[in-house]
Structure 1
Amino acid sequence: MSRALAVSGRRPRTLPAGETLSAEDYRRLIGVLESVDHADDLPEFRQALALALQSWFGFTGVAVLHGDTFVDAVRAGCGIQAGYLPEFLDEYAAHWATRDPFRSEPAARLLAEQGVVRLAELDSDSEFVRDFLRPHGIRDKAALLVDGGAAGVLYVGMAACDTDRVPDRDMAALRALRRHLTPLVIEQLGRDRERRAAQSTWQLTPREWEVADLAARGLTNRQIAQRLFIGVDTVKKHLSRALAATSCTSRTQLAVRFAAA
């Protein structure tokens, strides 16, 4: 009897000695990637990524922000958050945002070099940690950065409440995840940039565009404020500017305009 295959009895390749990630870790990576790889646009991608990181990695709070640069993303960028209470976000914006170690130049340098950084690598005993994070039950944080070059930057901040230190194994898994997320992030950031450029006649700032887009999706002013880390009054100001720039008199008209964008 003739054979169909040149080599018989082939076995799956074994993992090399000292392999950092387990089969369970790779399943987590696949779980996150499967959650985001069919997202139709950047808002859907951000939401799916935040929820997947909560589900597959157990992070309590997740923020997904983006901008042209790291500074734009963490200080004035667009994005969403999941898992945080409004009171926490209000206190952060009012008193602690400027003292957040993840918004610092050292954080920017480390993230550019390593891609994923843990709070302990920046400042684990600062006033920000002792007087703000710990009283709110946050025991450690990690951040992930994808630099898409001309397409922009995506920053992901993750809060852990059940451990004093995000495990090394989770950090290794996040670094692997970042590598696989990068082409998806670049594609989504590029498509979003093209979409906004197509409506450049509206002359909206990135923040005004973000507010208008969320309003067009049916979110209330309070929900938009919670997602974007800004006050309700600020949402109203941006939305009024967006309505005027797009010649819309209602959220319904705005939704129609954005659906056609």
Structure 2
Amino acid sequence: MRIANDDGELTVRDYTRVFDVLEHVNPAKDVDDFRERTLEAFGSVLGYRNTTFFRGPTYATLFEDPSPLLNGRMRALVREYRSGWSKYDVFSLPESLALLGRTHAVSVDELHRMPEQSRQYLDNWLARRGLPSANAVYIRPAGEHALIGVFGEDGVVGPADLRILRLLGKQLSAVCRHLPGARVDQPDLSKLSPRHREVAALVCEGLTNATIGRVLSLTEGTVKKYVSHILAETGCRSRTELVLRLRSQG
């Protein structure tokens, strides 16, 4: 990726690129259209080839997005990511969220309190697959949480590039804040017992199996079985998908 000037100011060309991205994204009709337009613009305008768009009802659950949008080499890595690396994603760390909440974009080079598992995620997974640079842009589409991942093949994003991403994070959040949500099928709850519906409602509130068990006086193992049954009956592949589809009803 190109390393821009480091004088603390965006150039006219930098602002032009930001405006070009926003012009490409502004016609979006809903969040699905928005994310597709955003990654297209990140590629055609900014030259970022390896990008991702993960979303979820909470920041913690967005890393479990059952249908993320992926470009470039990230498409081939999604299975490995889901099979074990997602829980070590460096952008799931509290430090990342704190920085993203303030700045809208962060590079892994800015993180200082990284556990060993997350360091392995970077060095033993991403870097060994030719992606030594990892960066994220945080936005809030339609009441959800979303991260746009930008992964580089030839070095880190420079200071000016990161400033562009931070400006875009603010502007993209404004664009997508009031867009209609995802186009999702409504889950069929008619086959669920009242107890299963009760559990599904608590899952939708973001509670863990252990917490649901305490609320309903059930063992954690029983709750886990209930959740598996709920997913099977509704056709959802994960808790995150169930939450997204249930929330879309309201």
Is the TM value for this pair above 0.5? yes
Could you tell me whether the CA contact under 8 Å between 2:108 and 2:134 is conserved in 1? Answer: yes
Instruction: Note if 1:121 corresponds to 2:114.
Output: no
CA distance in 2: counterparts of 1:109 and 1:173, whole angstroms? 19
* Contact 1:50–1:62 (CA under 8 A) maintained in structure 2: yes
Match of 2:46 among 46, 51, 57: 57
Q: Is the 8 A contact 2:55 2:68 kept in 1?
A: yes
Change (3 A) 1:180 1:187: same
Structure 1 gaps of 5+ residues are: 1-17, 206-236, 243-261
Consecutive unaligned residues in structure 2, runs of 5 or more: 1-6, 191-199, 201-230, 237-250
Answer yes or no: is 1:41 the counterpart of 2:30: yes
**RMSD of aligned residue pairs (Cα, Å):** 3.0
Contact 2:56 2:62 in 1 (8 A): yes
- For the Cα contact (< 8 Å) 1:59–1:161, is it kept in 2? no
How far the C-alpha of 1:55 sits from its partner, in A, is 2.0
Q: Which residue of 1 aligns with 2:151?
A: 159
Matches within 5 A, 1:203-218: 203=189
How many residues are matched? 187
Residue 111 of structure 1 contacts residue 144 of structure 1 at CA under 8 Å; is this kept in 2?
Answer: yes
CA distance in 2, matches of 1:183, 1:127: 35
Displacement after TM superposition at 1:27 (Å): 1.4
Calculate the TM-score normalised by the size of structure 2.
Answer: 0.65
Percent of residue pairs identical? 22
- 1:1-261 alignment, distance < 5 Å: 20-76=9-65, 79-84=68-73, 86-122=75-111, 123=114, 126-147=119-140, 151-163=143-155, 165-188=156-179, 191-192=180-181, 202-203=188-189, 241=235
C-alpha distance in structure 2 between counterparts of 1:239 and 1:32, whole Å: 41
Change (3 A) 1:33 1:239: farther
Secondary structure of the residue that 2:149 maps to in structure 1? strand
CA contact (8 A) 2:53 2:146 kept: yes
Letter of the 2:85 partner, please give it.
W
Q: Name the TM-score, length of structure 1 as normaliser.
A: 0.62
Rounded Cα–Cα distance in structure 1 between residues aligned with 2:48 and 2:148 = 12
One-letter amino acid of the structure 1 residue matched with residue 181 of structure 2: D
2:69 maps to a residue whose letter is: I
2:51 & 2:232 partners in 1: Cα distance?
A: 24
